[in-house]
């Protein structure tokens, strides 16, 4: 597939892989910034005086948020380590493939973290029913824009 795409663009296979590595690293930079901001926020919450007032629902949502954000951090940083371990080993195709899969999984974990963080905050601010409704809308919009529309476009281009 890489060879066919390279020929269509007038690039060598190596040029395509170099471009793909650059593109995927840029995508990781965008995603990791969101994870870093959310993770920093989450690390401070248990030290706030009102944290003890959250109750079982709040602490459960916080735990889901913290775990999913920590996992998103690990998964989104994984391509950097993968690249470093395979550096100068002529494994760019494997690096691109691994990074692509890591980004998809990392974005899913990030969506879980974002949504549960919003649920946690809005549960305190607005109450549970509006918080759940807003989070459902966020999930719907994210799933549509992050997955459904791109996958539909990909399917259209394949046929």
Q: Which residue has the tokens 């390279």?
A: 6
- At 83-92, the pLDDT tens digits run 888 877 787 8
The per-residue pLDDT for 34 is 87
7: which DSSP letter? H
pLDDT of residue 64: 97
Secondary structure of residue 91 in the 3-state scheme = coil
* Phi (first) and psi of residue 30, to 5 degrees: -65, -50
pLDDT tens sequence across 74-83: 999 999 888 8
Specify the pLDDT at position 12: 80
Cβ distance 34 to 110 under 8 Å? Answer: yes
Confidence of residue 116 (pLDDT cuts 50, 70, 90): very high
Do residues 113 and 35 lie in contact, with contact meaning Cβ atoms separated by under 8 Å?
A: yes
**pLDDT value at 63 more than 70:** yes
97-to-100, 103, 104, 109, 144 alpha-carbon distances in Å:
5, 10, 11, 19, 23
Q: How far apart are CA 26 and CA 18, in angstroms?
A: 13
DSSP states of 18-42:
HHHHHHHHHHHHHHHHHHHHHHHHH
Would you place residue 17 in the very low, low, confident or very high pLDDT band (cuts 50, 70, 90)?
Answer: confident
Cβ contact 13:3 at 8 Å: yes
Q: Is the pLDDT of residue 9 over 80?
A: no
pLDDT per residue over 125-142, tens digit each?
Answer: 999 999 999 999 999 999
CA distance 27 to 90: 22
């Amino acid at each position: 597939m890489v060879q066919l795409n390279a020929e269509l663009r007038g690039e060598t296979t190596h040029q395509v892989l170099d471009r793909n590595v650059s593109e995927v690293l840029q995508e990781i930079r965008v995603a990791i910034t969101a994870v870093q901001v959310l993770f920093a926020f989450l690390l401070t919450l248990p030290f706030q005086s009102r944290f003890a007032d959250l109750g079982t629902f709040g602490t459960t949502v916080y735990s889901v948020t913290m775990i999913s954000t920590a996992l998103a951090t690990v998964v989104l940083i994984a391509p950097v380590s993968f690249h470093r371990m395979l550096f100068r080993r002529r494994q760019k195709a494997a690096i691109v493939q691994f990074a692509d899969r890591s980004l998809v999984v990392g974005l899913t974990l990030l969506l879980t973290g974002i949504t549960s963080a919003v649920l946690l905050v809005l549960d305190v601010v607005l109450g549970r029913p509006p918080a759940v409704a807003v989070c459902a809308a966020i999930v719907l919009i994210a799933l549509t824009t992050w997955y459904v529309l791109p996958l539909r476009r990909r399917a259209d281009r394949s046929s």
